[in-house]
Amino acid sequence: MSQVIAADLVLMDVNLATMDPSRAGYGLVEQAALAIKDDKIVWLGAQHELPSLATETPIVPCRGMWLTPGLIDCHTHLVFGGNRADEFEQRLQGVSYQQIAEQGGGIKRTVAATREASEQSLFELAGKYASAMSQQGVTCVEIKSGYGLDLSSEIKMLKVARRLGESLPLQVQTSFLGAHAVPAEYVAQPDSYIDLVCEQMLPQIAQLGLADAVDVFCESIGFSLAQTEKVFNKAQQLGLPVKLHAEQLSNLGGSALAASYNALSVDHIEYLDEAGVRAIAESGTVATLLPGAFYFLRETQKPPIDLLRKYKVPMAIATDFNPGSSPICSLPLMLNMACTLFSLTPLEALQGVTINGAKALGLDAERGSLTVGKQADLALWDISHPNELSYQFGRNTLQQLWQKGKEVNFGGVQ
Ligand code: DI6
Ligand code: FE
């Protein structure tokens, strides 16, 4: 073959689950090779069709293992102070999540601990969780604020998230979730708190470039539709995309509202009805499913998977990692839970943490599949078929990880 490709690295003897939507299913390419130049994928295909390589191009022999896109966790609350293991013990004795919140625990407690913590101590704690994610194949994570609930503490959280992205081999996308809960000092006037979010917090955070998107917890124990709309209007004015915690504990119609603002995603959605599914299908909004929170709160109402399939709504899967409702930072475990708890197929589950996770962050043009021109975020797994990623858990099958074309060095993952 006369064609020669210039590559920095070529993976050989590898099987690809490209997750490329222009191919069917997993987008399998077996006995393949994949070439990287700088931070991009420059060639992939059957190995026998690989063009000539410049001499001395480094080769990674993959011994028939499987390569997927780096995993994407599109919904986390990874930066927070303290933990709530004692509340877990209370819940085991029959006290409900809501009762704990009413007694001053829950989100409020994490807010107090987060306000008190220094930026450095938050960074160190979050760094442990983020590293654990990356050791399990994650190359891109969304991190929300929402445990500060005042301007300086929200800024502190978002700065920590940005620093994680600069210091770890992880793409970090931030979401401003000032409207996560009403802080203690505003309990009597939640609308004044929303005014503060819209008039002061959001504009300053946007100006500092600390938020890639804006999120709200729209729920009977969170914020109403009208309050959500105020925040969305401000976000729109500032040119920031929106997403929503919606229909987690009841059906308020948050998803349809989010769809009317072309939301990137609606998240949780256990109580979403057919009209809501139709609305998000029309707006191209991703449905983000969070089986960890469903499991950890022992919920019983499942998201409307059949309707989401019927209307061809892309489904993403994420950890919702947070200290109260989902203290689980394993995205591979979510693949299994999405299948066992929500009856997704292993293919749908893997789409949920690759191409659809990317879509939920507005990043699908550059991430989420093994496609020429996309970023070389690659995870190599010691498995014999990609359906095994949803099947077993407990043994870390990740063999090697590349982010932006560079191998991630864990010093210990095996
Ligand atoms: N929904 C959740 O599941 C988390 N936040 C939200 O809006 C819970 C956060 C916590 O309990 O700390
Ligand atoms: Fe959440």
Query: Ligand 1: which of 228, 322, 326 to mutate, most ligand atoms within 8 Å of CB?
Result: 322
Ligand 1 environment, Cβ below 6 A: 106-107, 110, 180, 217, 245, 248, 293, 320, 322-325
User: Is the distance from CB of 325 to CB of 296 less than 8 angstroms?
Assistant: yes
**Ligand 1 atom closest to the CA of 180, numbered from 1:** 7
Please write the tens of the pLDDT for every residue from 332-353: 999 999 999 999 999 999 999 9
Residue nearest to atom 2 of ligand 1 (CA): 325
Q: For the residues 249-255, what does the mean pLDDT come to? A: 95
Q: How many other CB atoms sit within 10 Å of the CB of residue 284?
A: 13
Amino acid in position 170: L
Among 10, 362, 37, smallest CA distance to 214 is for: 362
Cα 79 to averaged position of ligand 1 atoms, centre (Å):
13
Query: Ligand 1: which of 77, 96, 228 to mutate, most ligand atoms within 8 Å of CB?
Result: 77
Among 263, 236, 215, smallest CA distance to 360 is for: 263
Residue nearest to atom 10 of ligand 1 (CA): 324
**Ligand 1 atom closest to the CA of 147, numbered from 1:** 12
**Ligand 1 atom closest to the CA of 177, numbered from 1:** 7
Q: Which ligand is nearest to the CA of 88?
A: 1
**Ligand 1 atom closest to the CA of 84, numbered from 1:** 12
Q: How many other CB atoms sit within 10 Å of the CB of residue 58?
A: 10
Cα 398 to averaged position of ligand 1 atoms, centre (Å):
29
DSSP string for 203-265: HHHHHTT--SEEEEEBSTTSB-HHHHHHHHHHHHHTT--EEEEESSSS--SHHHHHHHTT-SE
Chain-wide mean pLDDT for the chain?
Answer: 96
Residues within 5 A (CB) of ion ligand 2: 320
Of 94-98, 125-129, 409-413, the range with the lowest mean pLDDT is 409-413
Q: How confident is the model at residue 299 (pLDDT cuts 50, 70, 90)?
A: very high
Q: Which ligand is nearest to the CA of 79?
A: 1
Cα 245 to averaged position of ligand 2 atoms, centre (Å):
6
Residue 361: per-residue pLDDT: 98
Q: For the residues 241-250, what does the mean pLDDT come to? A: 96
**Ligand 1 atom closest to the CA of 222, numbered from 1:** 7
Q: How many residues does the chain have?
A: 414
Q: Rounded to 5 degrees, what angle do the CA atoms 88, 272, 79 make? A: 40
> Per-residue pLDDT for 390 more than 90?
yes
> Per-residue pLDDT for 303 more than 70?
yes
Please write the tens of the pLDDT for every residue from 47-59: 999 999 988 999 9
Q: Which ligand is nearest to the CA of 319?
A: 2
Region of residue 175 (left: phi > 0; alpha: psi -120 to 50; beta: else):
beta
Question: Does the model's pTM come out above 0.95?
Answer: yes
> Per-residue pLDDT for 412 more than 50?
no
